[in-house]
Structure 1
Amino acid sequence: MAARTGAQYKAGLDDGREVWLGEGRVDVASDPVLKGSINGMAGYFDWQHQHADECLIDDPEKPGEKMSVSLMLPKSREDLAVRHRGLERLARYSNGMLGRTPDYVNVVLAGHTARADIWAAGKPEGYERLRKFHREVIDGDLALTHTIVHANIDKSAPPLGGMNSELTLRVVDRNENGIVVRGGKVLATLGPLADELYVYSSMPIPSGGEEYALIFSVPVNTKGVIQICRDHYGREASVADAPFSSRFDEQDSFVIFDDVEVPWERVFCDGDLRVYNTLNQGVSPGNTLQQTAIRAMVKLEFAYDLCSSVAKVTNSLNYPETAQMLGEIHSYLSLTRSAIVAAEAQAHDWGAGAFFPHRDLSVLRCVMPEWMNRVNHIIRVIGGHNLLCTPSLALFEDPEIGDKLRKYLPGSNGMPAEDRARIMRMAWDFAGSALGSRVELYEMFYLTSQSRARIGDHMVAQRDYEWNQVREFMQKSGILPA
């Protein structure tokens, strides 16, 4: 199969997965509430064929076959350039509004597979199983999501202490077939619409918590895998009226593993803290951040153009206060683009031939939540009350009211009322709708919380660099003896 079409993706959803949404359990493949989101994700798979020259590459193990660029094992600066082009094209499908398209976890999995040296610290069969799984994902062009955060319900207790110890995912048994796991995990974005749940390390686990140190993957329809969804924010509306909400609510779920048996061939790490605690920091800061930074760049590009378009509706593009806010968004875009360029220029071998961008790229985790939140605020400020008095596009076709709408609700400088409505509705869907608010919250905790990211950045700086500037200056100035 190698590179699936949208129709092939949709056919794979009819597999009996256990998903609870709204007032009960739903059949994902046929549920009308999820129809728009499923069609939106199917469009993602068709998009990779429409842009095959960027999104698909030659399969190095199967001559004549194509595979997703996001599953490549980058071994050179040239490979990273190829992957950059593909990831950027994939992000442009939703202009960054889809945060968990399959290429995200694909890049994670490829990074894990590329770091054979980290896995060498553990049992060799774990890495061999991972390599085979990577191959399986390539051949099936599977849609993966992850669920990696502990079910930390009581924040006054340690993540794996108190009531949290019983609620978060852990091993409860082992048998000849595999391991049996029980507990919850947060958060499976795209979970109901994915093919696989990939569970891997996020934060280090202390000695004594080996039963929680698990890396494995299971199909979402595995017996005992239960997904509890939030309210659905997708809308049954035209793309013109709801360009994002009609297609791009990727859904989020809390995952309960109710004594799920994971076969040994899908168990990659079982309690080995040397592998579990090293893998994320050995892959994420450079490898995974390439995908997330590119998505953010594409989203900021779109946001700048969208805000400019809103300003043109009211002829306020060159107002000093408006220009200042637009310049602010553009500065975020320029800094993001520059960080990507610099990290890719300083890319290097991280180990075992895995060629990733420089880890400084991960600094974006420390600033992007504020930037994305600020962008939404700016859209609402520039749009103002205009965002709240925009009719549906269908009303323009109504013979009784259509002409009045065209007379009283045009844009400035001769802009037709229909164009004004399209822009304002898009801006509202981006920043003010239920989906827009969900995406804003999602960005706040994307790749961990902002405070945790900053603490991590500080700890890495203290660990990896020597800070002697103050002492050297004092010695040079005679404040301290040389």
Structure 2
Amino acid sequence: MTNYDRTSTRPGDHYIASLNDGRKVWINDNPVEDVAVHPAFAGPVGVLKTFFNELHDPELKDKVGYVSPVTGEYVHKSFLVPQTKEQLLERKAAFEYWVDETDGLMSRLSESGRSIVTGWYASRAKLAAYDKEFERKITAYYEQARDEHRILVSVVADPQIDRSKEQTELSDPDLALRVVSENEEGIVIRGAKMLGTAAPYAHDILVLPEGRLQEGYEQYANLIIVAANSPGVEIVCRDSFALSPQEGPLSALYDEMDAAVVFDDVFVPWERVLFYRNPEGVYQAALHKKENSLMHHQSVIRLIAKYAFVTATGFSIAEAIGAERFLHVQEKLGELVVQLESLKALLVVAEIEAQPDEFGTWWPKALPLRVAIDAASRAYPRAIEILQLIGAGGFLQVPSADAWANDLLRERIGKYYRGARVDADTKVKLFRLAWDLIGSPAGSRQELYERFFSGDPVRNFAAQYLEYDKQPLLQKIQKRLNSR
């Protein structure tokens, strides 16, 4: 864990320096010596640096930040606990600014994990019913994360080994992350977690068990926050999907790294152990995370920006090749519009129906936000399919980035690669941009990510039915049946 240096004038500059903290990150078969400058992470790390420095920009700091009551310095509004509807909309404006800058292509700009912690902090008195120390511990971490501009990511999924069994039923007990020892200063954990998106360049890792644990599995029932540079933490990355700016204009900037996180006998101090051997406390915290509309509010804002970008790409491709005049293409473009405006409408409903809880915190209505997220798990892959159908074989005919350097090829490209309304240079750039959404490794990863952004979509849709207030609807049918 690093100490925050307040003599550094800009949070983004401090963020870059903070990554040189002895963390152990692997990519390919090599340890990463400097995360901040490694090509696999340079894009998103650079974006985060720019955004964090906006907290010192006179023209932007009030849009994206607010003044910490402890330090008197600007901190990001993802930590703002809204006490009025106006403050809820201030959080929205901060989120919108960042996602508009990235077109929603980065889901781990730090607001998600921060909103989880902010939600727990806002509900700390309620969750303290399951451990009286929770309120003090979450307050201390919330204030530290807020004032030190810490990035927090969460890991829940266990290693995918044998899906026919619960992780705790496998022969090796370490395949589900567990506590192996404890002492007066803290606990030691062992195991691994998957899907640590942005973990290589985060400060802290929030660890929860997967699913609801029953009595007898207390060693797995822990809610903890682990510093990414803790001895024994190993972050094992997938292949980098970042291409050059010419080949992958989106992936070069926005390829958020996914990683497995191995915990090889990692010590965690008691202050970072929010629930310990506490199945009910951990379950209630996980349930709160699932229902945390402050977090889902941010997620839907991002989804709208991303879907708007995909929709704009579809419009641009169709018009570039003169396909927008065909009825079947218009129908597909109209489908993009319907989905985009549906997401916007659900966001508006959630904000209109926002209400304060017993502690004075204003929460957006949860159901419309969950509906939007579940709908997007199917709408986004469909949107990518629509782009594929409109551009069709044109995506496979984009010349290589170096072809323009050859005089003869440049002449050929100018003649045969132009569009109905655009020159060859514009059309090639457009199709290369679209390919980075629909066909590149990073684009394929984006589609898979949105399918499972909120977990198993089958379970999520089933939960919509199981948890829905069905009685008012059933009464309508009963009324008709009773009238005869």
**Pair in the same fold by TM > 0.5:** yes
One of 29, 47, 51 as aligned partner of 1:23: 29
Question: Helix, strand or coil: the match of 1:437?
Answer: helix
Alignment-derived partner of residue 157 in structure 1: 165
Paired positions, count? 473
Give the fraction of aligned pairs with identical amino acids, expressed as a percent.
27
Matched, 1:250 2:256: yes
Alignment-derived partner of residue 334 in structure 2: 327
Unmatched runs of 5 consecutive residues or more in structure 1: none
Name the aligned partner's letter for residue 190 of structure 2. R
Cα distance in structure 2, aligned partners of 1:318 and 1:422 = 22
Alignment-derived partner of residue 128 in structure 1: 136
Alignment-derived partner of residue 97 in structure 2: 89
Contact 1:3 1:67 in 2 (8 A): no
Shift of 1:335: 0.9
Cα distance in structure 2, aligned partners of 1:270 and 1:332 = 43
Alignment-derived partner of residue 184 in structure 1: 192
Deviations along 1:123-168, one digit per CA (max 9) or x if unpaired, are 2222211111111111111122111223352211124323474301
Alignment-derived partner of residue 54 in structure 1: 63
Cα distance in structure 2, aligned partners of 1:152 and 1:351 = 40
Matched, 1:70 2:78: yes
- Cα 1:458–1:367 change in 2 (3 A) is same
Deviations along 1:279-321, one digit per CA (max 9) or x if unpaired, are 2333433222101111101111111111101111101123211
Moved more, 154-163 or 363-372: 154-163
Question: Helix, strand or coil: the match of 1:363?
Answer: helix
Alignment-derived partner of residue 282 in structure 2: 276
- Cα 1:421–1:47 change in 2 (3 A) is farther
- Cα 1:33–1:432 change in 2 (3 A) is same
Cα distance in structure 1, aligned partners of 2:9 and 2:129 = 34
Alignment-derived partner of residue 226 in structure 1: 234
Shift of 1:397: 4.9
Alignment-derived partner of residue 109 in structure 2: 101
Alignment-derived partner of residue 294 in structure 1: 301
Shift of 1:120: 2.2
Question: Helix, strand or coil: the match of 1:78?
Answer: helix
Contact 1:147 1:198 in 2 (8 A): yes
Alignment-derived partner of residue 348 in structure 2: 341
Shift of 1:462: 5.6
Contact 1:126 1:269 in 2 (8 A): yes
- Cα 1:433–1:4 change in 2 (3 A) is farther
One of 428, 438, 446 as aligned partner of 2:445: 438
Deviations along 1:434-477, one digit per CA (max 9) or x if unpaired, are 000011111111111101111222222269978433323322x1
Question: Helix, strand or coil: the match of 1:150?
Answer: coil
Name the aligned partner's letter for residue 56 of structure 1. G
Matched, 1:309 2:304: no
Cα distance in structure 1, aligned partners of 2:50 and 2:471 = 43
Deviations along 1:157-208, one digit per CA (max 9) or x if unpaired, are 1243234743011111110110111111121001112111122466332232
Cα distance in structure 1, aligned partners of 2:389 and 2:261 = 37
Cα distance in structure 1, aligned partners of 2:471 and 2:90 = 30
Shift of 1:430: 1.2
Contact 1:117 1:351 in 2 (8 A): no
Question: Helix, strand or coil: the match of 1:261?
Answer: strand
Shift of 1:3: 9.2
Cα distance in structure 1, aligned partners of 2:173 and 2:359 = 36
Alignment-derived partner of residue 356 in structure 1: 363
Name the aligned partner's letter for residue 155 of structure 2. T
- Cα 1:200–1:76 change in 2 (3 A) is farther
Question: Helix, strand or coil: the match of 2:255?
Answer: coil
Shift of 1:261: 0.7
Deviations along 1:246-286, one digit per CA (max 9) or x if unpaired, are 11111111111111110111111112233221223334332
- Cα 1:465–1:282 change in 2 (3 A) is farther
One of 381, 389, 397 as aligned partner of 1:389: 397
Cα distance in structure 1, aligned partners of 2:210 and 2:101 = 28
Cα distance in structure 1, aligned partners of 2:224 and 2:345 = 35
One of 20, 30, 47 as aligned partner of 1:14: 20
Deviations along 1:351-385, one digit per CA (max 9) or x if unpaired, are 43332111212122332111111111111111112
Question: Helix, strand or coil: the match of 1:281?
Answer: helix
Contact 1:47 1:90 in 2 (8 A): no
- Cα 1:135–1:208 change in 2 (3 A) is same
Contact 1:114 1:353 in 2 (8 A): no
Deviations along 1:369-414, one digit per CA (max 9) or x if unpaired, are 111111111111111122122235554354443233222211212x
Shift of 1:424: 0.7
Cα distance in structure 2, aligned partners of 1:466 and 1:352 = 32
Matched, 1:39 2:46: yes
Let me know the Cα RMSD of the aligned residues: 2.3
Cα distance in structure 1, aligned partners of 2:188 and 2:213 = 20
- Cα 1:164–1:292 change in 2 (3 A) is farther
Moved more, 434-443 or 459-468: 459-468
TM-score with structure 2 length normalisation? 0.91
Alignment-derived partner of residue 375 in structure 2: 367
- Cα 1:66–1:29 change in 2 (3 A) is closer
Name the aligned partner's letter for residue 62 of structure 2. D
Contact 1:105 1:144 in 2 (8 A): yes
Question: Helix, strand or coil: the match of 2:181?
Answer: strand
